[in-house]
Homo-oligomer: A and B are copies of this chain.
Amino acid sequence: MNLKITSCLAAFLLAGAYCYAQSNNNVVEDFKSSEVNQTGREYPMVNSEGRVRVQISAPNAKMVQLDIGAVKYDLVNNGEGVWTGESAPQDEGFHYYQLNIDGASVPDPGSLYFYGASRWGSGIEVPAHDKDFYAQKNVPHGQVREQIYFSETNKNLRRCFIYTPPGYDNDLGKRYPVLYLQHGGGENETGWSAQGKAGLIMDNLIAEGKAKSFIIVMDNGNWTMPRPPAGERPAPSARPGLPSGWADGFMKTLLNDIIPMVDANFRTISDQEHRAMAGLSMGGMQTHAITLANTDVFSQVGMFSGGSFSVEEVKNAPGFKENVKLVFISFGSHELDNRREGFGGNPEENTKALKADGMNAHFYVSPKTAHEWQSWRRSLYQFAQLLFK
């Protein structure tokens, strides 16, 4: 294997095209159109190895590349201006990517677009062995509702998406628990429904009797704290022990605007026992800070690729141990391979220690995935089955 790489490398140094052709010969030719292509588009495609193949007409371009997973792959011109090429195998699940045409980074006109990496751009779906749990099926479907509302805290109009479970509009006497579910950095309030498939995950779980019916609120957690005037210090944190910053800014809006708006307009059970918060990555870190500081507001907590709780933190957060009935910590396995001691200690050890200390604490690892949406889809799938039970 090492020999092969070395000889390929040598060949590459001698003749740039060889290594590409070599690689091409090993590609399994069973490509199918991606499941998140625009209607009627053949490309991008994915094969059984998880390679992504793109194609674009750029008759006058000098160089076209596929940019995925932080690697740029050169495409090949067929001589008539149609450029084609593929990536190395990608992990199962959803990935952001883009094309690079003579130095311009642009979306692929064949794919649907998703908000992530701080831009609307291309996404691709590498079919996962467990994709059935978020497949669109002929089961009763809930709704994902776009709600515009005024924030008194920020004096502006904001938007969130709210999932209501199947049957919400039929049994008008029934009230529901609520999960506040946050996206990651560089993403927004559209992420959990679009690439996260939160609605489909819940519809399928409910149809199989594996999860309770609850409402999910997906808001925008991106936050820039106003800069203090020159020479002044930042405003103090809203709660002692909570760092001032994006968690603090979003916390005020969540507590003062979002939760009251949801409780006023949806048939919620509006108490701590029936209110949960979870988030991925940055949203997990926000969940961490906000739930530690508000043990009278949330009873169930999920952090997906966003750190963990140490016994020490829990000890210093009054009411947390007594009032919080569920702690769920998860990561993609590749994240743990890469930085087992990250996020303030070993998350698995932290979670075991909470459990040993008497809390209902769960640790989940998504197999063979990294800091990406397949880890978070699986995390929601696991977490939702534990919630409000």
The interface of chain A, by Cβ under 8 A from chain B, is 38-40, 56-64, 81, 99, 101-107, 109, 112-113, 118-121, 136-138, 141, 143-150, 157, 162, 169-170, 172, 188, 193, 199, 203, 265-267
Nearest Cβ distance between residue A163 and chain B, in whole angstroms? 10
A56 and B104 contact, Cβ closer than 8 Å, known pairs A120-B38, A120-B113, A170-B265: yes
A162 to chain B: which residues have CB within 8 Å? 143
A101 to chain B: which residues have CB within 8 Å? 58, 61, 101-102, 104, 106
Which single member of B60, B143, B150, B157 contacts A63 (CB below 8 Å)? B60
A60 in contact with B147 (CB, 8 Å): no
A145 and B145 contact, Cβ closer than 8 Å, known pairs A63-B60, A106-B107, A169-B265: yes
Q: How far is the CA of A267 from the CA of B168 in the complex (A)?
A: 12
B146 in contact with A103 (CB, 8 Å): no
B102 in contact with A58 (CB, 8 Å): yes
Nearest Cβ distance between residue A83 and chain B, in whole angstroms? 8
Which single member of B56, B61, B109, B169 contacts A121 (CB below 8 Å)? B109
By beta carbon, the residue of chain B nearest A150 is B138
Q: How far is the CA of A147 from the CA of B136 in the complex (A)?
A: 12
A107 in contact with B104 (CB, 8 Å): no
Q: How far is the CA of A356 from the CA of B387 in the complex (A)?
A: 65
Which single member of B109, B120, B157 contacts A136 (CB below 8 Å)? B157
Nearest Cβ distance between residue A241 and chain B, in whole angstroms? 31
By beta carbon, the residue of chain B nearest A59 is B103
A61 and B150 contact, Cβ closer than 8 Å, known pairs A157-B136, A169-B266: no
A38 and B119 contact, Cβ closer than 8 Å, known pairs A61-B101, A144-B146: yes
Q: How far is the CA of A253 from the CA of B121 in the complex (A)?
A: 33
By beta carbon, the residue of chain B nearest A106 is B106
